[in-house]
Structure 1
Amino acid sequence: MTVGLTGSIGMGKSTVAAMFIEAGIPVFDSDAEVHALQGAGGRLVPAIAAAFPGSTRDGSVDRALLGPMVLGDPAALKRLEAIVHPAVGEERAAFLATNADAPIVVFDVPLLFETGGESRVDCVVVVSAPADVQRARVLSRPGMSVEKFEAIRAMQLPDAEKVARADFVVPTGGSHEETRRAVHAIIACLAAREPPSS
């Protein structure tokens, strides 16, 4: 059973992913994979440096330099995605092979709906919090501004639309314990389902 885990910025998706891991469910963190591929010695660094001159520093992609080159520029974003997505796809295939015996695996993908990724999983879990909670969380991050927050949010499907398209929703506006209970209820529900025919 493959599960897509998604949610807009500041919704608590990393916290929920950690709760799945705590419960013994393997989680593929696509953002972490991208960081590794773009970090020091990462195999995508040369290609990104060539496509976006000035976006690297000390042998790795510097997100603070790359961000302004692609934010708000759909053509530049497509160029970047054409470099990154195939490599992440290879890492995903390797993760699936490693965890072939696991009854449930989770793919943590921030832009799942935006990239059509929901068609590659059996069900979708959306992490959601009230708008004021989301805003407060994001604006408390170092280096975050209202403008940057709004630019990121503009690239993401609205929360209400994600929730409407989800198979399961994990609310994160309350306590960690409430969130954990919601995660465990989803795992129990998935475990009781018939495995999809391959």
Structure 2
Amino acid sequence: MTAPAPPSTAKGKATWARLVACARAEAIRTGGTVEIAPVAEAAGVVPSLVNRYFGSKAGLVSAVVDDFFDRLHAQVLNIDLDSAGDWATHERLRLEQGVQFHYADPFAVVLYTQLSRDPLVARTETERIEIVIQHAAHNIRRGQQRGELPAHIDPEFAGAAMFGAMRQVMVAAMRRRRRPRPEQLVGMLWPQVAAAVGLKPEI
């Protein structure tokens, strides 16, 4: 089932965004379960409007997943850090930003571990993760073209390894009552990132 297109009017866009924010808050509050009635009540709309905008509860949850990955791209993945130095230098900075992003967003651990999934939600998450991996692969290819990364490294495999490692380490960290300091996680993750692209973790 395909979700309806987002509304085009300013009022409709504001309502759509408010529903996504309320659904995100509900998922955080419940530990991964989203129901239309409490989301609609929190947003100050009738439940039928949720179906009008998103097609179904699954469409609403998928929009929350999309919102998370949109923010991940805007705040971490799409930032141009080339001026910071070579590939290793700017990607360690990006890793630091990624750790901070996940720590600042309580929805991250819900998404990665507890979010109730129907096929539409699972497909949305899978598609967004693939986009992240392809983005990382493109970044690795740029490093190879500049001679900053070994040419024999498979960019897609390396990108998958990098995101997979970060995701699982962040889940373990965010589940702890006392979270490790961000710099501890970066220090643990960076050698894995470096190994994935054939570098020695010297910085």
Q: Shorter-chain TM-score category?
A: 0.3 to 0.5
Which structure is larger by alpha-carbon Rg, 1 or 2?
2
- Larger % of strand: which? 1
Q: Which structure would you say has the larger RCO, counting Cα contacts within 8 Å and 6 or more residues apart?
A: 1
Q: What TM-score, normalized by structure 1, do the two folds share?
A: 0.32
